Chain A
Amino acid sequence: MAFVAGLVGAACPSASRAEDDRVESSEDAAAGVARDANLVDLGANFDANVFDQRGDGWMLRGNVVRRRVNGQPTPAVEPGESPTISRGRRVGAARLDRIARICTLADEQRRALELAIESDVRELAAAIDAERRRYAGVTVNMSDQEGQRRWHQFQQDVQRCRRRIEELFESGSLFAGVLALTLDDSQRERLDTEIASRRSFLWSTMVATVLLKVDDAVGLDAEQHRLVEEALLAREPRLRLDESARRSNAHAEQMLVYSTLADVDAAPLQAALSERQWRALATLMNQGRAMRSWLEQQGLVERPAEAP
């Protein structure tokens, strides 16, 4: 688990403290500080984990808990627009720009797609804001069992939100439906070709990069390399192309290639490799196979549409 603890609050506590932060009697201060080191405000950590982390990456800012004056309620979430909306709009605008570059959209087409984006984004924001509200002001003590349980639940809920963000404009969204209805045949063909080309290019880059490592580890000759590469290129997964999915993740890409290799017809490869090479390659394939559920969390590949 990649785990980043930001200690901004801890580094300059006086700077981050507001008027209503001060609280307990002085004799409790030392004990309070020690206790606070294990307290985590899940609400304050919600957005950073939903929007800025992926897969099994987690960011936990320590010591951001406000020690409240006894009897005072937890401060409410800041009023104003949900951060989900601005982030969702940004992803939608990037996608629309890309489509417009490829298809040259008419004004009506653009307007229809913008409306669909806005609708999908608001629906997403409602779902994520509901989750966020559940954690507003929720502070857990990470050193006790109940705190650990809540943290685990928090991780599951955040994962669900991340998945919704990844799938924001994918099949089943209003945007996908409007896009299918709005574009004419020629535009759709251009778009499909461009998406397929980008996806293939991305996959072939991943395969080639990972095969360099295999070259070093297994000592493939040119013919063996060609066989393995062709087998992998023939099993191209539906890679996500959105900005959220395209942050480089070398380890996940490596595991995706090994996992895909584990699914190819083994017989021709085994016949072409020496026994030692096959054993070494099989170890890599097993690594990929073992990482499948982890790979799903990374969001590199689109999930297949659920049957109606």
Chain B
Amino acid sequence: MRPTGATTAGMSGRGRVQWLTVGLLGWMAAVHGVEERPPSAPPVRLGQPGAAAPETPEAALELLRQAAEDALQTVLGAPAADVLAQRQQRKALEAQQRELVQRQAKQFEQLLQPLLRSELELVRHACGDLPEAARHEVLVAGRAAIESLAEDAAARQMNGGMNVAEVDPRAGLHRVIAAAVAPHVPADRLAAYRREDQARLERRAAVARQRIVAKLDEQLELSATQREAILADLRSGWQPSWIRELDDRGGLVVNNHPPAPDYAEERIVPHLDETQRSVWHAWCRAAGSRMLGQRARWHFDGPGLPPDPWWEHP
């Protein structure tokens, strides 16, 4: 809808507003159809002091278009066309990012398959026979958990700012499998499965403690008595986060040292002699774990167990 053949000459103020409103509606309806303003025409601003009223509907439309663009620019902080381009670019980047995350998640899924199989093996050992329908349910739940854990880890890794080390695939998988198994087994069987999981967690903590002491021994030449004392002290004051020692697989060397387990300093230093303390402090300054941050607990080697038909094809 475009006003045609009219001018604003001789119109009252009210008439001019009506005419401008009609013009605005017309511009909104057919904003892309408006002819380009001749390059020579000076820009006209609505409400500019001393600005002449538009002489033609085209000029009025131009005036309105310009006013709308000005208003948009004020709101958006940039020309509308630029904002639109930026939005499209952002959407394209987001789509690209989503694709990358999905691709990475697929890789993580493969990495986690052996973990699922070994967890199911543990269920089979601890819980004994399970009805066919229950087996299917547990398997489906396990696969979904792997998918979700992989997606979570991939998103954390690819999107930045989120720590992939916070994803604990073992714990996440066990939680889901235990919940899926629970309705189908007697309480004592479920308790046996939970005990096995607990024993596995304790084994991991014990190995982490032993690795801390082994690392100290390598750097500080501990005596047998010192090794025992530090192990005992680590055990009595154990913090779950110290399991991070398992992340150090020996490859990381900082300033010619392996990362020092300084997070457990208060359990270590009292057992060192003076010379060892001085070496310890120098080591912490050069390669303290606190300063290095935590890495992901994603070390799964090898293909693991073959697929179990008992679960796969009940």
Contacts and interface: CB of A to CB of B under 8 A. Distances in A.
A221 B210 CA distance: 21
Which of A216, A276, A277 has the largest number of chain B CB atoms within 10 A? A216
B217 A217 contact: no
B251 interface: yes
Contacts of A176: none
A217 B300 contact: yes
B292 interface: no
Contacts of B114: 216-217
Interface string A196-212: 01100110110011011
A222 B126 CA distance: 11
A6 interface: no
Given A198-B224, A221-B126, A274-B125, A212 B218 contact: no
Contacts of B303: 217, 280, 283
Contact of B305 (A198, A204, A218): A218
Contacts of B299: 213
A249 interface: yes
Interface string A211-242: 11101111101100100000000000000000
Contact of B214 (A202, A249, A283): A202
A248 interface: yes
B181 interface: no
Nearest to B246: A212
A250 B118 contact: no
A98 interface: yes
A197 B218 CA distance: 14
Contacts of B265: none
A198 B224 CA distance: 7
A219 B122 contact: yes
A194 interface: yes
Contacts of B119: 219
Nearest to B214: A205
Contacts of B221: 98, 101
Contacts of A98: 221
Which of A201, A279, A283 has the largest number of chain B CB atoms within 10 A? A201
B203 A225 contact: yes
Given A250-B251, A279-B306, A222 B196 contact: yes
A102 interface: yes
Interface string B182-203: 0000000000000110011001
A246 interface: yes
Contacts of B250: 248-250
Given A194-B224, A250-B250, A215 B214 contact: no
A159 to B, nearest CB: 23
A31 B243 CA distance: 57
B40 to A, nearest CB: 61
Contacts of A284: 302
B223 A280 contact: no
A143 interface: no
Contacts of B203: 208, 211-212, 215, 222, 225
Interface string A272-287: 0010110110011000
Contacts of A221: 122, 125-126, 196, 199
Interface in B131-190: 170
B121 to A, nearest CB: 4
Contacts of B214: 201-202, 205
A22 to B, nearest CB: 36
B249 A250 contact: yes
B304 A217 contact: yes
A74 interface: no
Interface in B182-241: 195-196, 199-200, 203-204, 206-207, 210-211, 213-214, 217-218, 221, 223-224, 227
A202 B217 CA distance: 9
B277 interface: no
B62 to A, nearest CB: 63
Contacts of A279: 306
Nearest to B170: A216
B301 interface: yes
B218 A218 contact: no
Contact of B306 (A215, A250, A280): A280
B207 A280 contact: no
A262 to B, nearest CB: 16
Interface string A43-80: 00000000000000000000000000000000000000
A278 B289 CA distance: 38
B121 A218 contact: yes
A171 interface: no
A225 B204 CA distance: 12
Given A212-B207, A246-B218, A219 B249 contact: no
Interface of A: 98, 101-102, 193-194, 197-198, 201-202, 204-205, 208-209, 211-213, 215-219, 221-222, 225, 246, 248-250, 274, 276-277, 279-280, 283-284
21 contacts: A197-B227, A201-B227, A205-B207, A208-B207, A212-B246, A215-B200, A215-B203, A216-B114, A216-B170, A216-B300, A217-B118, A217-B303, A218-B121, A218-B304, A221-B122, A222-B195, A222-B200, A225-B199, A250-B249, A279-B306, A280-B303
Given A211-B207, A277-B121, 9 more contacts: A208-B203, A209-B210, A213-B302, A216-B304, A217-B114, A219-B120, A219-B125, A219-B305, A249-B250
